[in-house]
Structure 1
Amino acid sequence: MAPSGAWDPSGYLRFAGERARPFADLLARVDARAPSVVVDLGCGEGALTASLADHWPGAVVTGVDSSAEMLAAAAAHARPGRVGFVRADVRDWRPDAPVDVLVTNAVLHWVPGHAALLRRWAADLAPGGWLALQVPGNQAAPTHVLLAGLCRSPRWAGRLAGAAPAADAVLDPAGYLGVLEEAGLAAEAWETTYLHVLTGADPVLAWVRSTVLRPVLARLADDDAAELTAAYAALLREAYPRRPDGTTLLPFRRVFAVAQAGTSR
């Protein structure tokens, strides 16, 4: 599942290190010893998916994504018999066999009503299998609030009100804990706010251009997209001022949950 408009793997990878940190923190809480079937739902450009094969050398790893652009980049990380990629919407995907580890990283905020999806995925786990999720939890951050305000302003509301970032796109940790426990899993959930130190001109704009801004710009012609981007960039520079050393600090909240199925299902 992805929002409208083509993904840009190169733009997304500009901050590959910062985006990989939550994935590593999530994986550290998955205590699967020797899984055979590992699935990464919403795998993107595939580098992190391939790292799962290194983490669990005996596993066959499948990455699933709906973006042709991301999967084209992911092809470079395929390993015959070990790591493969398929194109599918995560809402429609079903496994061929019970899954030992199901990972979904920075995906579910694009999927309205994804609590029901988590319950279905819980049922797809093998006995003792693990489900691990991470979502951005920054809907109240200036990046999202300012963009939502622009989308709903008189200048843009007629075309962009429906594309404004949703304030309820994700649950809080307690919400995910409840969903997973109600699905019969033993779960834990937490949140972390990362402080990313960014460099370059308008680095926060560069960060959001490949994520929350992308479906907004997809609705506009080039001239209008440039106008909105300029207005948004000015607001971001005020909300995230450059520090004396020339860097810009971006606080980024993320929500995590891991859960394990019972050993008899």
Structure 2
Amino acid sequence: MAVTGAEQTEGGWSASQYAKFLHARTRPARDLLAAVPLETAQEVTDLGSGPGNSTALLRARFGAARITGTDTDADMLRTAREALPDCHFEAADIATWTAAPPQDLVYANASLQWIPDHRQLFPRLLAQLSPGGVLAVQMPDNLDEPTHIAMREISGDPRWAERLTAARARRVPLLTPADLHGLLRAECRQLDIWRTVYQVELTGTDAVTQWFLGSALRPLLAPLSEAERADFLDAFRARIAPFYPEQDGRVLLPFPRAFFVATRA
């Protein structure tokens, strides 16, 4: 969610950059919510609510619930509060967040990939649910895509490699479905796990770069100077161009995403 030039917020995400592709970014959120097996809910939390697009879906489905959105970024929280004044938004770190009271639904759309140690995180989040409550999670599963291979290669440039060590380490490969099943199944009435590859149609090859300026490129570019960001992005565009050819001015961006919906016993 952010970066470069005027659209980069100091030390944080940019809601306006993220929103450039809001319809396509919201589609996985809809698919995740459609798989939640709850008729009603009283307590709902949207972990990593961003500009509130996913929170709006929760409000539309669970109109009677108390809905809370959490994020660490002031720009995202400000945008969400303006869009959804009837929901509560608070600054909170997912890694240490604790529910009060127990939740009927903890919903995390494209946020938990930034949190380390899923073997500790997922059981802890499951424990925040009331009996029969649901933990619904969607995460990008694209570390082996050409875009992310290019990010890792370019971030190793000696000009900035040391400064980007922490940023490179922020995301690690996701748990396999078998590992996830073994980790959570004993505590669940039901556990659904699946993976979808979305084919996102964009206008022009540079739109691929613009897409990731709103997400994965942000932590890599944040430590760099303006000139270094320009060099990084020039190298990124050159590396990915052969993998995303234009056809009549349009480009398809394959985007794999991993999902699971766990209903607590």
Q: State TM-score, norm by structure 1.
A: 0.91
Further displaced range: 253-262 or 225-234: 225-234
Distance change in 2, residues 1:255/1:237 (3 Å): same
For residues 1-265 of structure 1, the aligned pairs below 5 Å read: 5-80=11-86, 83-164=87-168, 168-200=172-204, 202-243=206-247, 245-262=248-265
Task: Report deviation, 1:182.
Answer: 4.3
Deviations 1:204-236 (A, max 9, x none): 100111111111111111111111111111112
In structure 2, how many angstroms separate the alpha carbons of the residues matched to 1:252 and 1:172? 17
Distance change in 2, residues 1:166/1:218 (3 Å): closer
Further displaced range: 138-147 or 166-175: 166-175
Deviations 1:37-74 (A, max 9, x none): 11101100112202211111221111011111100101
In structure 2, how many angstroms separate the alpha carbons of the residues matched to 1:159 and 1:179? 34
In structure 1, how many angstroms separate the alpha carbons of the residues matched to 2:97 and 2:164? 30
The answer as to whether partners of 1:46 and 1:77 remain within 8 angstroms in 2 is yes
Task: Report deviation, 1:167.
Answer: 6.8
Deviations 1:81-109 (A, max 9, x none): xx211111111211111100110110111
Task: Report deviation, 1:166.
Answer: 6.2
In structure 2, how many angstroms separate the alpha carbons of the residues matched to 1:174 and 1:77? 39
Deviations 1:2-38 (A, max 9, x none): 9x93101011011111111111111111110111111
Distance change in 2, residues 1:166/1:51 (3 Å): closer
For the residue of structure 2 that corresponds to 1:33, the secondary structure is coil
For the residue of structure 2 that corresponds to 1:190, the secondary structure is strand
> Unpaired runs of 5+ in structure 2?
3-9
State the partner residue of 2:6.
none
Deviations 1:156-206 (A, max 9, x none): 323324423667342233333332214445211000000001014501100
Distance change in 2, residues 1:166/1:120 (3 Å): closer
The total of aligned residue pairs comes to 257
In structure 2, how many angstroms separate the alpha carbons of the residues matched to 1:157 and 1:171? 27
Distance change in 2, residues 1:176/1:231 (3 Å): same
In structure 1, how many angstroms separate the alpha carbons of the residues matched to 2:225 and 2:52? 30
In structure 2, how many angstroms separate the alpha carbons of the residues matched to 1:133 and 1:159? 31
Deviations 1:224-252 (A, max 9, x none): 11111111111122221212x11011000
How high is the sequence identity, in percent, across the aligned residues?
39
Over the aligned positions, Cα root-mean-square deviation in angstroms equals 1.9
